Copies of this chain bind each other. A is one copy, B any other.
């Protein structure tokens, strides 16, 4: 990554927005993630915003509160999607971030008229997503799922060479708060003579990190791995809802289709790589793992190719909601376990000449950690549906039931540093029609 040298990461910085200075906020002044929002029920146009504490800086209200390159970037960010800001590139993003950091710091003139309370906002998918690609970067997930389908051969021979990915559906990606009806589809159980049709019986979530493309590339012009992070606008949380029974019957030979494309939920917030710079991590490899092919190698790979982002899945059942109980934590993992880095995904995706465009979204694939309790899906946590989970309130789950709300959370944290949070990606399953 091209590091941009400025003081926006300084852990001693505080803001005149008091709520940004509490230790448990996701959005201290060192974070400044982007969204697209409007005041709820206002009927106003959606526009870009930046989180600070429990507020949003309204980029459409900035006017001459920032100037120069930052103002130019703010004008792009004030549109109803962030695509134009994304396409403007890292200098623009960094200039705006620095200007907002200075505007919001303790000691600067408080400008509360630039702020909207997050509690009063509604969010949109922050970009027009031209294409959505989902990867499969957790070797622990790939091994655990592979074991269910192929006990004798869990990890396929290409896994440690090819960053496996496939194209997903953009039209059903929604922002946190999404509700959707349980999908229906064809399934065939192992003892069934013929398939049958009905509501999915094995509905699952997948805990993923989303990667929004900033500047794209022209067709035929691959992005080298060493330059790839300058094409990344930022990261979000992503729940790749999955109908496991539909998937098992449909996926050969061309991969998942209706088992995935009914709904995908992302967080409204996009955290920039610049905000995450203090949380780089070493790349995860065993000594016996192969050296990647040259197009997947780059200078900073081993020291700082990874990202130390804690990830968490919470489940709120209808009973918990009715009785006012706290959602149950199903698992916790970390993006640093990913076998492939963000830069490698970008380089691989374009090495054949494929064009990425600003606003395209890449999913990391389910992020499961090395411990079985760190699994990022129920398929893994229940060992293919064979070992029900007992929740703290006594309820049991094998897969997701109607009325369940699944909440993904993510954050980077270290002693002496403010928490860089992702907010949440929450979605609720309604009964099949």
Contact = CB atoms under 8 A, between A and B. Distances in A.
Interface string A307-344: 00000000000000000000000000000000000000
B183 A246 contact: no
A403 to B, nearest CB: 16
Contacts of A294: 197
A375 interface: no
Nearest to A156: B252
A254 B196 CA distance: 24
Contact of A130 (B158, B170, B259, B290): B170
Chain B CB within 10 Å — which of A167, A188, A243, A348 has the most? Answer: A167
A79 interface: no
Interface in A200-244: 200, 219-220, 222, 243
Contacts of A165: 254, 257
Given A184-B351, A261-B352, A167 B164 contact: no
Given A130-B170, A156-B253, A261-B354, 6 more contacts: A166-B166, A172-B219, A184-B222, A184-B353, A243-B352, A262-B354
Contacts of A257: 133, 164-167
A121 to B, nearest CB: 23
Contacts of A157: 188
A168 B168 CA distance: 8
Given A167-B167, A249-B158, A172 B254 contact: no
Nearest to A171: B355
Contacts of A184: 222, 351-353
A105 interface: no
30 contacts: A130-B170, A133-B257, A158-B249, A158-B252, A161-B186, A161-B194, A162-B250, A166-B166, A166-B167, A166-B254, A167-B167, A167-B168, A171-B219, A171-B354, A171-B357, A171-B360, A172-B219, A172-B353, A172-B354, A180-B353, A181-B220, A184-B351, A186-B293, A194-B290, A220-B433, A254-B256, A255-B255, A259-B352, A261-B352, A261-B354
A381 interface: no
Interface in A371-418: none
Contacts of A171: 130-131, 219, 354-357, 360
A197 B251 contact: no
Task: State the 4 A-B residue pairs at the shortest beta-carbon distance, nearest first.
Answer: A255-B255, A183-B352, A167-B167, A166-B254
A348 B250 CA distance: 12
A215 to B, nearest CB: 14
A168 to B, nearest CB: 6
B355 A172 contact: yes
A269 interface: no
